[in-house]
């Protein structure tokens, strides 16, 4: 004979289900509050660092600052941060007016109490990687490049600058040349500077193949040879004309001290710009 089902059992199950849902909802709300608080605290710390970086870089607007790693609160309580990124545009450095800056701050020590009080002088950076990118529009304002109209910048291989030919392997590719580029001194690179100059009363497009070399904080553009025309489909400028025109492409400009007391160690030519890179160990955030 079957036992009758108690009417209380379904009600008890419903109550347990409601309690479980309430617990889950409470946990979800708590997690949301903790995550929101974590992001809020991170945003406050990023804003503090951004304001100090604006003062240090001489900007009118706060640069972008990102503190990587989640949760932020565990880093904040320990005062140790794995990586902080800082980037800014339109930074004035010496006579350059529109420089882009990107910095990676790694193994950073920053006491939470100091950050909350806006004190960044105690921030110590274990390893700092920084770079500044100088646009062609700024480089065009440096004498004597001011004589070149519509100045443009493109990368070029060292081999092509020196010989007018790219290194080729047996298959006809330029892998050997690329390998040589990777192994070469990072303080120099090939560059192609082009624009219009006046020759015998006529405006002629000239392509100058040069070396760009880093000497301390100074960058030297050392012209090697000139060509008429477009890219590699060009005609070599006669030697007598080269001697007259080469000085128009020889220039030196100073990046000053890179931000955060970084010493420049490498130069890279991009399409339309030049990037100077540097590294430093155990530096203070507010140091120069």
Residue 204 covered by a domain: yes
Q: How far apart (Å, rounded) are the C-alpha atoms in residues 191 and 151?
A: 13
Which range among 133-147, 179-193, 226-240 shows the weakest confidence by mean pLDDT? 226-240
Q: Are residues 111 and 60 in the same domain?
A: yes
pLDDT of residue 23: 67
Report yes or no: 42 and 65 within 8 Å, Cβ to Cβ: no
Residue 169 has pLDDT above 70, yes or no: no
Residue 186 structure tokens: 């990072």
Residue 96 covered by a domain: yes
Residue 259 covered by a domain: no
Instruction: Taking residues 49-57, report their average pLDDT.
Output: 76
Highest mean pLDDT among 106-115, 129-138, 198-207, 252-261: 129-138
Q: Are residues 208 and 97 in the same domain?
A: no
Residue 176 has pLDDT above 60, yes or no: no
State percent of the chain over pLDDT 70: 73
Residue 3 covered by a domain: no
Residue 234 covered by a domain: yes
pLDDT, tens digit, 9 for 90 and up, residues 181-232: 555 678 999 999 999 887 777 888 889 999 999 988 888 999 998 887 655 5
What is the chain's mean pLDDT, rounded?
78
Report yes or no: 229 and 235 within 8 Å, Cβ to Cβ: yes
Number of domains in the chain: 2
Q: Are residues 100 and 212 in the same domain?
A: no
pLDDT, tens digit, 9 for 90 and up, residues 275-288: 999 888 888 876 54
Q: What torsion do the CA atoms of 228, 231, 236, 239 make, to the nearest 10 degrees? A: 70
Q: How far apart (Å, rounded) are the C-alpha atoms in residues 51 and 55?
A: 7
Q: Are residues 126 and 187 in the same domain?
A: no
pLDDT of residue 136: 93
Residue 256 covered by a domain: no
pLDDT, tens digit, 9 for 90 and up, residues 96-122: 888 898 989 899 888 877 777 767 777
Instruction: Taking residues 148-153, report their average pLDDT.
Output: 92
pLDDT of residue 279: 87
Q: Are residues 29 and 131 in the same domain?
A: yes
Residue 27 covered by a domain: yes
Q: Are residues 121 and 153 in the same domain?
A: no
Residue 282 covered by a domain: yes
Cis preceding-peptide flag for 144 (omega within 30 of 0): yes
Q: Are residues 216 and 280 in the same domain?
A: no
Q: Are residues 97 and 42 in the same domain?
A: yes
Q: Are residues 86 and 28 in the same domain?
A: yes
Q: Are residues 43 and 111 in the same domain?
A: yes
pLDDT of residue 135: 93
Q: Exposure of 14 by Cβ count < 10 A (0-12 exposed, 13-18 middle, 19+ buried)?
A: exposed
Highest mean pLDDT among 130-144, 164-178, 217-231: 130-144
Q: Are residues 222 and 127 in the same domain?
A: no
Q: How far apart (Å, rounded) are the C-alpha atoms in residues 236 and 240?
A: 11
The domain containing residue 183 runs over which residues?
Answer: 145-168+175-249
- How far are the Cα atoms of 9, 59, 170, 187, 255 from residue 92, in angstroms, in the given order? 76, 8, 48, 23, 10
Q: Are residues 124 and 152 in the same domain?
A: no
């Amino acid at each position: 004979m079957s036992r009758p089902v108690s009417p209380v059992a379904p009600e008890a199950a419903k109550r347990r289900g409601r309690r479980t849902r309430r617990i889950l909802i409470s946990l979800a709300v708590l997690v949301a509050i903790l995550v929101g608080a974590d992001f809020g605290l991170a945003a406050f710390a990023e804003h503090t660092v951004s304001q100090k970086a604006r003062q240090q870089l001489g900007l009118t607007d706060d640069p972008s600052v990102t503190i990587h790693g989640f949760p932020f609160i565990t880093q904040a309580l320990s005062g140790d941060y794995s990586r902080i990124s800082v980037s800014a545009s339109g930074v004035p450095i010496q006579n350059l007016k529109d420089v882009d800056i990107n910095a990676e701050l790694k193994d950073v020590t920053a006491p939470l109490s100091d950050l909350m009080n806006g004190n960044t002088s105690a921030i110590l950076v274990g390893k700092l990687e920084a770079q500044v990118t100088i646009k062609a529009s700024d480089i065009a304002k440096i004498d004597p490049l001011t004589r070149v109209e519509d100045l443009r910048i493109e990368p070029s291989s060292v081999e092509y600058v020196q010989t007018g030919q790219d290194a080729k392997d047996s298959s006809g590719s330029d892998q050997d040349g690329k390998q040589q580029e990777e192994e070469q001194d990072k303080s120099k690179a090939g560059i192609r500077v082009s624009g219009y100059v006046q020759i015998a009363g006529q405006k002629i497009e000239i392509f100058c193949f040069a070396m760009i070399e880093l000497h301390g904080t100074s960058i030297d553009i050392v012209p090697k040879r000139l060509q008429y025309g477009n890219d590699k489909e060009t005609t070599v400028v006669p030697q007598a004309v080269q001697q007259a025109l080469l000085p128009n492409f020889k220039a030196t400009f100073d990046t000053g001290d890179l931000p955060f007391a970084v010493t420049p160690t490498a130069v890279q030519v991009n399409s339309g710009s030049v990037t100077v890179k540097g590294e430093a160990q155990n530096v203070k955030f507010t140091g120069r």
